[in-house]
Amino acid sequence: MGARPYQQAFDRGVKIIGATAHYVTEVLDEGPIIAQSVIPVDHTYGVEDMVRAGRDVEKTVLAQALKLVFDDRVFLCGQRTVIFA
């Protein structure tokens, strides 16, 4: 979304914000996805509220992705991942 994603999200009136954890490749944000999550936001959220909420969901998704990888539950299948429960 650019250099100021939460400001842009606020300006556009988004209803959910989220985070994605993925493998790193040469192309930014293009690696196979390991984990994702979203949270709802509404008209009561200002930009700083969205930043705070976004950081929380980012931390949660990163922790979830790391646990999956460290537990050997993520397997690459081409440009996709297979996650075993």
Q: Provide the annotated active-site residues.
A: 29
Q: Which residue has the tokens 């939460």?
A: 6
- Reading the block at residue 61, the tokens are 């998704």
Number of Cβ atoms within 10 Å of the Cβ of 28:
7
In sequence order, the 6+-apart residues with CB closer than 8 A to the CB of 59 are: none
